[in-house]
A and B are shown apart, each in its own frame.
Chain A
Amino acid sequence: MTNAIEFVGDVSVFSLRAIADLFRPPFEAEQFWIQLAEIGSRSVPLIVASGFALGAVMTLHTRSTLVTFGATAEIPTVQSLGFFIEIGPLVAGLLMAGRVGSGIGAVLANLRVTEQIDAIESLSIDSFKFLVVPRVLACVIALPLLTLIMDFSGLVAGFVAEYAASGISWHLYIERAFASLDWANFVPPTLKTAVFGFIIGAVSSYFGYTTSEGAQGVGKAATNSVVLCSLLIIVSDVVLVQCIAVAFPRTAL
């Protein structure tokens, strides 16, 4: 039990340090761009493919249900609300926990066990600022952007599936999809993924940066990162959904 409390304390201190160091010079701009490319751009194919598959599947399911009520006209609305409010943010967060969380955990742990972090320190470079802060910031910024890509991929796939079934026009589909979507059920859920990004960046960096075991520590850091990131994303999602519902009552459907 004391171990668990100590662990929570350590992770929290580590995360707060990442925030504090973000505002203290020197700023590692170059490292940040490298990480944004690695974490953001390189994740786009995965996000698009998943969004597409999920979008198509969801339309197939909602269609078979709505058909029995004669409410097929609502399909675009259900699709866009579903994706923008919950599916896009949550699935993007979980996918990134897997791809990016394990990557950061393994890379930093490897730098630690091969003494590269010590080497950075020995050159009077602040290794935390050089390695951790750019990764955390890149995650925070990349997640909302990737979520948007996921949302639109889902929507496009939804259109394709619906077009195959009913021949609906793109124009009509989009009109219906956005008819009942308002800024309040689009912006807050997208921005909440910045929190997911922070969780992924901070937690996986913690496991990687602080590993003290040899080669097996690398694998362990990667696995632990994915497990804890996924768990925290789901838990924080519950909390954030409640917060958004309180702050923007109209969006509570």
Chain B
Amino acid sequence: MNPDDSTAVFFQSVSKSFGAKEVLHEVSFNVAAGEALCILGRSGTGKSVTLKLIIALLRPDAGKIWIEQDEITTLKTEELSRVRRKIGFLFQDAALFDSFTLYENLSLPLARLTSKSQEEIDSMVVKVLREVGLAADKKTMPSQLSGGMRKRAGLARALVLEPKILLADEPVSGLDRITASEIDELLLQQKTERQTTLIMVTHDVHGARRVGDRFVVFDHGHLVAYGTAAEVESSDNETARQLISLSS
């Protein structure tokens, strides 16, 4: 089965193991363009692995993954680059380039992947840094940033190319509530104003419910619940109900 035009990301029976350890077992889900999907699950259940599969940093052992109309598990390097251009990725630990300043971290992708002039690059970098509240730290090295600042800088780098699909691995972990809610707002704004498809891993139920349209819950490598917040709340899986419940 091929996905239809409205599909942004489509997993079909994807399995992934590391050695003898099976991390994902025949996982299938579909994310429509412009939709926000939140991935919930306990630690070590393969959430980050799922995001890395989407951007093809990892390859599945079985199953197929579509990004829009491209089945990426068989793509060659050049075609993969084309697909990756559509995707922005915030890593769980930000993964900033530690030999570059914050400004250079953001200008590198613009300089490499677009034909923008230096002035345009400057203004875009400043704009995105302002959005995440780091405009004053342009010249700072990543090692001098706090954990929460690194997270926001990583988000800025993921956003700077204006991706159609944004993958965010725990965008608000380690942030205070006020900053976290600002980041949620920013993500929501990406979705409503730019129609960005959003796939985010999070442990913050409040933020997830505010931003997410649909939810998937992983447990022991299996997808145990999938649907709207209300659907997951009434799922027959105990873990899923606990993870989505606000009273925790």
Contact = CB atoms under 8 A, between A and B. Distances in A.
A199 B93 CA distance: 33
A118 B85 contact: no
Q: In which size bucket is the chain B interface?
A: 20 to 34
B178 to A, nearest CB: 28
Contact of A122 (B77, B89, B108, B112): B89
Interface string A46-87: 000000000000000000000000000000000000000000
Q: Which of A119, A123, A125 has the most CB of B within 10 A?
A: A123
A175 interface: no
Nearest to B57: A118
A196 B98 CA distance: 29
A67 to B, nearest CB: 54
A2 interface: no
A123 B108 CA distance: 9
Please classify the interface of chain B as helix (H, G, I), strand (E, B), loop, or mixed, using the class held by over half of its residues. mixed
Given A124-B81, A124-B84, A124-B85, A118 B112 contact: no
Contact of B98 (A116, A122, A125): A116
A201 B122 CA distance: 35
Given A116-B97, A116-B98, A121 B57 contact: yes
Interface in A91-138: 114-116, 118-126
Nearest to A125: B112
Contacts of A125: 109, 112
B95 A115 contact: yes
Contacts of B161: 123
A122 B157 CA distance: 11
Interface of B: 52, 55, 57, 77, 80-81, 84-85, 87, 89, 91, 93, 95-98, 108-109, 112-113, 157, 161
